[in-house]
Structure 1
Amino acid sequence: MFWTKRVVIGDGERGLVYRNRQLEAVLKPGVYSWFDPLDRIEVKLHNIVLRPEYVGSDESALIDRLGDALGETFVLADIGMDEVGLVLKNGRIEEVLAPGERRLYWKGPVSVEVRTLSLDETLEVPAAVAARLRQLSSLERVAVVLAVPAEFAGLVFIDGRLARVLDPGTYAFWNFRRNVVAQSVDLRVQSIDVSGQELLTRDKVSLRVNLAASFRVTDAVAAITRVAKYGEYVYRELQFGLRKAISAKTLDELLGDKASLDADIFGYVRGRTGELGIQLLGVGVKDVILPGEMKEILNSVVQAEKAAQANVIRRREEANATRSLLNTARLIEESPVLMRLKELEALEKVTEKIDKLTVFGGLDGLMKQLVSLKQ
C-alpha cells in the first residue's frame, strides 16, 4: 500500500530498524513491512559477510540500547588498557585491536572470536601470532620487529631500560603504551683504520702516520650502555694512543723499532676499552710518512754512513793485501828457488803479451840478462 514500508533482508544481511531515529529492532533474514504514513521508520542494511565488523557511527548507543540482548546479535570486543586483542574470523587471526579499543562484530556466517593477551606479563608477540601477522603484512604496524643474525646479539630496551638480551633469531614485541627499542650488536671481528695523523716526535720532527687495528665486542650490554658509539670511541682512543706513543720517541727510535711503538699503542688502548666490553685484538703502524726535506736529510745521512763504511772496508782490505805482500817477500828472501819461480811467472806473463821476441846471445844470454839469481 502507499503508506506501507516493505524491506527484504537477505541471508548475508542484517537490518537495524530506527523509529524517530531511535533503535527499535534488529532484523534477521526475511521480509518485513510497516504501516508508516508519516515516514518515521528507517531501516539500515548491513552486509555481514563482506564486513563482519559493525561500521555504524552509533556503536556506543547500540550497545547501551540492546543491553543484555547484545550477545544475541553481536560479539563485543572490549579490550582493556593493559591488553591487546586478536580478532579471529573462521579460526584465523585477521586483525589486532589496540589497548582500550572497543568493537562490535555481527554474529552470522562468519564466525568471529576475540582473544586477549596481557601486556603486563610480556610484550613479546607469540611466534604463531607473529607469523600470521607477517603473512598479513601488518606485523610492523603493531610491533617492533628485530632479526638477530648469527654472530650478533640483540638488545631490547623498554621505556629506556634494558629488558632482554636476545640470541640469534627473529623477534617481535608489541608496540603499545610503551616505548620499545630493539637493536642488534655485531660480535664479529671488526677492523678500523686511523689514517693521515700529523704528529710530532720527541725531537720535534713532523711526520704523518697511518694505523690499523682490529677489535670485537665481548659484552654487548656494556658496549651499548656505557658508551654512546663504541666504534667512534675506539677510533678516538687509537688516535690518543698513537699521539702519546709518537711524542715519547725520537725519530731514530721510531724508525729503528716499530714493534715497540705498536706495543705502546696496544697497551694504552686495551686499558681504555676493556671495561667497556670491547677486546682489542691487534694494532699495527702501516706507514710512517716523512716530509720531503726530512727525506733528503735522511738520505744524505744514509749515504754518508754507507760511504764511511765503504772506506773502512777498503782500507781494511788494503791493509790485508799489504800484509800478504810482506809475508810473500819474507818467504822469497829466505828461499832463492821461490824467487826463481816468481821470476819465471813474471816472465811468462810478459811473454803472453808479446807477439815477437828477438833473442841475442842465445837462450843463456836471455836468461842471464832478464832473470838472474841472487848470489
Structure 2
Amino acid sequence: MTYTIPIILFLVFFLVTALKVLNEYERGVIFRLGRVINSKGPGLIILIPIVDKMVRVSLRIMTLDVPSQDVITRDNVSVKVNAVIYFRVTDPIKAILEIEDFMFATSQLAQTTLRSVCGGVELDDILSQREKVNNEIQEILDIHTDPWGIKVSTVELKYVDLPQEMQRAMAKQAEAERERRAKVINALGEFQAAEKLSQAAKIISAHPEALQLRYLQTLREMSAEGKASTIIPLPLDLMRMLAPGAGSGELIEKKIQESSEE
C-alpha cells in the first residue's frame, strides 16, 4: 500500500504527458532533447515525458486579412488597397524550423508585396485587370513562402479606395464617354436614314407609280391625325401642270416630306 499511491500518480502523470490526440487536420512536430525527429498525426501518439516536446501545426487553409495599404500607382495616383490571402501549411517541419512565426511573417510579406505590385501598375489596370494583379501577388508570395513550407493558394483584392477628387474625375470621364457614344449612335442613325432615303428616291424615280402610292399614304396619315383643317387631295398630274418647272415629281416629294414632318 505504501507504493500504490506513488505508482498511481506516476501513471496519471505519464498518461497526461505522454498520450496526445491530434485531430485529422493537425500534425505534431516532435522535438526529442531539442532535435526534430519527425512529424506525427493524426490520431493518438505517445511521447516520452520530459524528453519529448510536441508543437501542433494546423494544415487547414488559413485566411489572412491584409490591412489597407497606402499605394502610389505608376501614374501617380494615391489609393488605399486592401486584400485577403488564403494559404495553408504543406510541410509542418519547415513551418516550425525555418520561420519563427509563419503567420506574422506571411502577413508582413503580403503587405510589402501588395504595395510593390500595385505601385508598379496604373490605376486602370488595378480596376479593370484585377485578376492579373491578384495572380502576380500570389506568384510572388508563393515563391517566397515555399521555403517555409507554406502554399499560398489565392490572393484577392477586396477594395480599392480612391480619393474624392479622383472619383469625381472618373465620373466626368464616364459621362463624357457616354455622351460620345450617344453622338456616334445618333450620327450612325442619320447616316443609315440617308442611305434608305437615297434608295427610296432611286426606286421612286424608276417607278413613278410608287410616288402616287406614297402620296395617298401621306394623305391617309394626315387625315388620321384628327386635325380640324380640311384636306383636298389633288391628282399628281394636275399638280405637275400647276408646277411645270418640277421634274420627275421633285416638288411633290418636297411637299410630301414637309407634310410628314408636320
TM range (shorter): 0.7 to 0.9
Displacement of 1:371: 7.9
Q: What is the DSSP-based 3-state SS (H/G/I as helix, E as strand, rest coil) of the residue aligned with 1:174?
A: coil
Which of 242, 250, 254 is matched with 2:126 structurally? 254
The CA deviation string for residues 292-323 of structure 1, in whole angstroms up to 9 with x for no partner, is 22111111111111111111111111111122
The CA deviation string for residues 30-69 of structure 1, in whole angstroms up to 9 with x for no partner, is xxxxxxxxxxxxxxxxxxxxxx44xxxxxxxxxxxxxxxx
In structure 2, the CA distance between the partners of 1:324 and 1:358, relative to structure 1 (3 Å rule), is closer
Q: Which runs of 5+ in 2 are unaligned?
A: 242-262
Residue of structure 2 in register with 1:94 after alignment: 8
Q: What is the DSSP-based 3-state SS (H/G/I as helix, E as strand, rest coil) of the residue aligned with 1:227?
A: coil
Sequence identity of aligned pairs in percent?
25
Displacement of 1:286: 2.1
Return 217-226 or 345-354, whichever deviates more.
345-354
1:265 is aligned to 2:112? no
Q: By percentage of residues, which structure has more helix?
A: 2
Distance 2:200 2:40 in 1: 90
The CA deviation string for residues 211-255 of structure 1, in whole angstroms up to 9 with x for no partner, is 122111111111001100111111122112211110110112222
Superposition pairs of residues 48-127 of structure 1, within 5 angstroms: 52-53=1-2, 87-88=3-4, 93-96=7-10
Distance 2:236 2:65 in 1: 81
Which of 199, 204, 210 is matched with 1:327 structurally? 199
Residue of structure 1 in register with 2:260 after alignment: none
Distance 2:146 2:230 in 1: 96
In structure 2, the CA distance between the partners of 1:374 and 1:226, relative to structure 1 (3 Å rule), is same
Residue of structure 1 in register with 2:245 after alignment: none
Distance 1:297 1:149 in 2: 55
Q: By percentage of residues, which structure has more strand?
A: 1
Distance 1:289 1:358 in 2: 67
Return 243-252 or 232-241, whichever deviates more.
232-241
In structure 2, the CA distance between the partners of 1:188 and 1:372, relative to structure 1 (3 Å rule), is farther
Residue of structure 1 in register with 2:189 after alignment: 317
1:301 is aligned to 2:173? yes
1:211 is aligned to 2:83? yes
Residue of structure 2 in register with 1:161 after alignment: 35
Which of 24, 48, 54 is matched with 1:173 structurally? 48
1:347 is aligned to 2:219? yes
Q: What is the DSSP-based 3-state SS (H/G/I as helix, E as strand, rest coil) of the residue aligned with 1:198?
A: strand
Contact 1:336 1:374 in 2 (8 A): no
In the superposition, the TM-score normalised over structure 1's length comes to 0.58
Which of 41, 60, 66 is matched with 1:188 structurally? 60
Distance 1:223 1:358 in 2: 96
| Higher RCO structure, 1 or 2 (CA under 8 Å, sep 6+) | 2
Residue of structure 1 in register with 2:248 after alignment: none
- How many correspondences in the alignment? 240
Contact 2:219 2:233 in 1 (8 A): no
Q: What is the DSSP-based 3-state SS (H/G/I as helix, E as strand, rest coil) of the residue aligned with 1:282?
A: strand
Contact 1:237 1:269 in 2 (8 A): yes
Return 270-279 or 145-154, whichever deviates more.
145-154
Displacement of 1:374: 4.2
Contact 1:155 1:182 in 2 (8 A): yes
Residue of structure 2 in register with 1:28 after alignment: none
Q: What is the DSSP-based 3-state SS (H/G/I as helix, E as strand, rest coil) of the residue aligned with 1:208?
A: strand
The CA deviation string for residues 164-204 of structure 1, in whole angstroms up to 9 with x for no partner, is 422222434322xx5x5322110122222213222111111
Distance 2:153 2:179 in 1: 43
- Aligned amino acid, residue 129 of structure 2: D
Displacement of 1:209: 1.6
In the superposition, the TM-score normalised over structure 2's length comes to 0.81
Q: Which runs of 5+ in 1 are unaligned?
A: 1-51, 54-86, 97-128, 360-365
Residue of structure 2 in register with 1:228 after alignment: 100
Displacement of 1:261: 0.3
Contact 2:98 2:147 in 1 (8 A): no
Distance 2:128 2:64 in 1: 25
Q: What is the DSSP-based 3-state SS (H/G/I as helix, E as strand, rest coil) of the residue aligned with 2:186?
A: helix
In structure 2, the CA distance between the partners of 1:358 and 1:224, relative to structure 1 (3 Å rule), is closer
Distance 1:183 1:146 in 2: 11
Distance 1:374 1:323 in 2: 27
